[in-house]
């Protein structure tokens, strides 16, 4: 039997909307609206994360019981659950979008595990809420598989993220115009149960300032600090200052991790930025195959490329600046907020530099290293070299006699490889010399490199293959990938194929190179 302890502080301590239910509306003076998940025809558990279940104290027998799929498909509540949707706004693609809110996400409650840790349980795709605007509140299987697998993959890569407990098929079709070309089609629906200590986003604060509701803004700020940042000390104003700096620092570390593993979020709107510095909202995200800082996976962003890989550090700062604007009424002067934004730059620079050093097998980068580091990335881009394979294979370079051979499989085009061979070989000579100067034994260096440069990432085409099979009723690949991503830094004999560079067929295929927001 599923038994969890709940302590729903968000709704106990913050004001709610007096109206209940999903009638679409603007909600004023409230942080949340009570709304129940809409039951689905035939909830069926397709996959679950054993690590997240263990975290929550849910045992295997409870997972296999029919009740589990019913609860996490949205058909049944257990004692202590008190579902609601949160009110938030956001800046989307650079402009203020007004009220957004959890349009299809419903929080079931805050569960407290045996260790006293607090975890919010949130269903995504559980039916409409007051914030659903004109949409249906549902999610399709393909996007739910992507969210489920990638949340867990990111966690195991060491990237801060929301987690995923379960993937439940609804047995109901969902109508989506995947290519935005006026040809909508029915697709299978699903619900993912996401898990995080807090789902509060930058947009939860922005909405109140946009409505001049300073009292509620301050209430939410102090609540967030008390519940989600209990380690912060000081008087009320000191706490707020330290908290904003902490949010900036966490965001800096988050983005540095994305850059380290080659993750492109795809839709870094302020409503998709977690106050805890977690990766949140796995929509049109993608992974860098051939290194290209200008690449964005999101078809909606293809024109302006606002959310391209190389622009993410800048966008995070822009988003934090919008958060700072929103927080201004809660601070006596803007200075503290400026200080926080500076912390973002300092911490990002430091962390990114340390991670880049580790990727190249060094303890730290010296000022004079910046030139050859930049050259490596330029060469990778020009010669169309796979980022993940390049760094992984770089560990195998023999510093006494460096050659391009260990890197061969990282190249997408033989012609480009041959064209850039002389430049690469010259670069490798300099790199090997730098490593020799460091004097570290090769074994130690390799071990460090392989702990920061993943062997397996959830390449877009891998997720798409699993989706294609799942759509035909075969979940085996979803399960295999879930198992694969649990040890992304280990060689997994027999699974080399999942480390291979993107095949040619995937270069332009929907879901593999470009993704629409339709989900
Ligand atoms: N099918 C849908 N039904 C209702 N609301 C939706 C739907 N799709 C998106 N929205 C809402 O549109 C806004 C922006 O969507 P976005 O794609 O960022 O979020 P999302 O993928 O639904 O969810 P999240 O950020 O919770 O992961 C959000 O307010 C979201 O809840
Ligand atoms: Mg979102």
pLDDT recorded at residue 488: 98
- With respect to residue 478, please indicate whether it lies within any of the assigned structural domains: no
* Tokens 């997408």, residue located: 412
Nearest Cα residue to atom 13 of ligand 1: 100
Domain stop point among 360, 375, 390: 360
- With respect to residue 471, please indicate whether it lies within any of the assigned structural domains: no
* Tokens 């930025």, residue located: 273
pLDDT recorded at residue 508: 84
SS3 content of the chain, % helix, strand, coil (to 5): 45, 15, 40
**CB of 103 closer than 6 angstroms to any ligand 1 atom:** yes
Domain stop point among 360, 378, 407: 360
d(CA 106, CA 197): 15
Residue 413, domain extent: 367-439
- Do 214 and 81 fall into the same domain? yes
User: Nearest ligand to the C-alpha of residue 175?
Assistant: 1
Six token digits for residue 110: 């805050």
- The answer to whether 90 and 274 are in contact (CB under 8 A) is no
d(CA 428, CA 433): 8
Closest C-alpha to 85, from 131, 120, 134, 39: 131
Please report, for residues 9, 422, 442, the alpha-carbon distance to residue 270 in angstroms, rounded to integers and kept in the order given: 24, 44, 43
CA of 103 to the centre of ligand 1 (A): 6
Closest C-alpha to 45, from 193, 153, 196: 193
User: Nearest ligand to the C-alpha of residue 281?
Assistant: 1
Report the half-sphere exposure of 383 (CA within 13 A, side-chain side): 28
* Tokens 């006699």, residue located: 401
- Do 176 and 129 fall into the same domain? yes
- With respect to residue 497, please indicate whether it lies within any of the assigned structural domains: no
Report the half-sphere exposure of 149 (CA within 13 A, side-chain side): 32
**CB of 127 closer than 6 angstroms to any ligand 1 atom:** no
- Do 303 and 330 fall into the same domain? yes
- Do 353 and 415 fall into the same domain? no
- With respect to residue 107, please indicate whether it lies within any of the assigned structural domains: yes
- With respect to residue 463, please indicate whether it lies within any of the assigned structural domains: no
Domain stop point among 406, 439, 472: 439
- Do 380 and 343 fall into the same domain? no
- Do 192 and 315 fall into the same domain? yes
Q: State yes or no: is 490 an active-site residue.
A: no
Per-residue pLDDT tens, the chain, 519 aa: give them.
899 999 999 999 999 999 999 999 999 999 999 999 999 999 999 999 999 999 999 999 999 999 999 999 999 999 999 999 999 999 999 999 999 999 999 999 999 999 999 999 999 999 999 999 999 999 999 999 999 999 999 999 999 999 999 999 999 999 999 888 899 999 999 999 999 999 999 999 999 999 999 999 999 999 999 999 999 999 999 999 999 999 999 999 999 999 999 999 999 999 999 999 999 999 999 999 999 999 999 989 888 999 999 999 999 999 999 999 999 999 999 999 999 999 999 999 999 999 999 999 999 999 999 999 999 999 999 999 999 999 999 999 999 999 999 999 999 999 999 999 999 999 999 999 999 999 899 999 999 999 999 999 999 999 999 999 999 999 999 999 999 999 999 999 999 999 999 999 998 888 888 888 889
- Do 176 and 214 fall into the same domain? yes
State how many domains the chain has: 2
Positive or negative, the Cα torsion across 45, 51, 54, 60?
positive
- With respect to residue 477, please indicate whether it lies within any of the assigned structural domains: no
- Do 337 and 378 fall into the same domain? no
- Do 421 and 302 fall into the same domain? no
pLDDT recorded at residue 290: 97
**CB of 151 closer than 6 angstroms to any ligand 1 atom:** no
- Residue numbering of the annotated binding site for ATP: 101, 103-104, 124, 136-137, 194, 201, 281
Grouping H, G, I as helix, E, B as strand and the rest as coil, residue 383 is coil
- Do 218 and 347 fall into the same domain? yes
- Do 354 and 374 fall into the same domain? no
Predicted complex ipTM? 0.99
pLDDT recorded at residue 179: 86
**CB of 100 closer than 6 angstroms to any ligand 1 atom:** yes
- With respect to residue 448, please indicate whether it lies within any of the assigned structural domains: no
Task: Judge if pTM exceeds 0.90.
Answer: yes
- Do 243 and 342 fall into the same domain? yes
DSSP 81: -
């Amino acid at each position: 039997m599923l038994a969890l302890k709940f302590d729903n502080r968000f709704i106990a301590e913050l004001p709610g909307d007096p109206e209940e239910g999903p009638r679409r509306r603007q909600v004023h003076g409230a942080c949340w609206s009570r709304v129940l998940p809409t039951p689905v025809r035939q909830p069926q558990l397709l996959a679950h994360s054993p690590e997240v279940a263990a975290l929550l104290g849910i045992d295997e027998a409870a997972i296999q019981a029919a009740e589990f799929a019913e609860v996490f498909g949205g058909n049944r509540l257990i004692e202590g659950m008190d579902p609601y949707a949160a009110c938030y706004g956001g800046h989307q693609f650079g402009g203020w979008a007004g009220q957004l809110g959890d349009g299809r996400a419903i929080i079931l409650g805050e569960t407290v595990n045996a260790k006293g840790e607090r975890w919010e349980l949130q269903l995504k795709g559980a039916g409409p809420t007051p914030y659903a605007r004109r949409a249906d509140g549902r999610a399709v299987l393909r996007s739910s598989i992507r969210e489920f697998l990638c949340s867990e993959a990111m966690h195991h890569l060491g990237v801060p993220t929301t987690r995923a407990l379960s993937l439940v098929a609804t047995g109901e079709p969902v109508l989506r115009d995947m290519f935005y070309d006026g040809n909508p089609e029915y697709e299978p629906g699903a619900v993912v149960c996401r898990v995080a200590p807090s789902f509060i986003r930058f947009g939860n604060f922005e909405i109140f300032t946009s409505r001049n509701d300073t009292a509620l803004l301050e209430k939410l700020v102090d609540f967030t600090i008390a519940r989600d940042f209990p380690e912060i000390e000081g008087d009320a104003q000191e706490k707020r200052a330290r908290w904003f700096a902490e949010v900036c620092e966490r965001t800096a570390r988050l983005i540095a991790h994305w850059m380290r593993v080659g993750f492109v979020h795809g839709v870094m709107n302020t409503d998709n930025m977690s106050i805890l510095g977690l990766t949140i909202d796995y929509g049109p995200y993608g992974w860098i195959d051939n290194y290209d800082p200008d690449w964005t996976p999101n078809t909606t962003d293809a024109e302006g490329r606002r959310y391209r890989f190389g622009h993410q550090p800048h966008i995070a700062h822009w988003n934090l600046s919008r958060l700072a604007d929103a927080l201004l009424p809660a601070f006596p002067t803007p200075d503290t907020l400026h200080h926080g934004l500076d912390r973002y730059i300092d911490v990002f620079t430091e962390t990114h530099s340390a991670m880049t050093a580790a990727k190249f097998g060094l303890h730290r980068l010296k000022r004079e290293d910046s030139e050859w580091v930049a050259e490596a990335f330029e060469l990778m881009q020009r010669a169309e070299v796979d980022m993940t394979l390049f760094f992984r294979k770089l560990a195998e370079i023999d510093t006494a006699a460096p050659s391009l051979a260990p890197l061969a499989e990282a190249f997408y085009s033989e012609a480009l490889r041959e064209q850039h061979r002389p430049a690469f070989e010259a670069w490798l000579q300099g790199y090997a010399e730098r490593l020799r100067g460091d004097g570290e034994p090769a074994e130690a260096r390799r071990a460090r490199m392989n702990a920061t440069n993943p062997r397996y990432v959830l390449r877009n085409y891998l997720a798409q293959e699993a989706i294609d099979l799942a759509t035909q009723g075969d979940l085996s690949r979803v399960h295999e990938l879930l198992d694969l991503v649990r040890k992304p830094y280990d060689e997994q004999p027999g699974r080399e194929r999942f480390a291979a560079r993107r095949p040619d067929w995937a270069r332009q295929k929907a879901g593999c190179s470009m993704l629409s927001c339709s989900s």
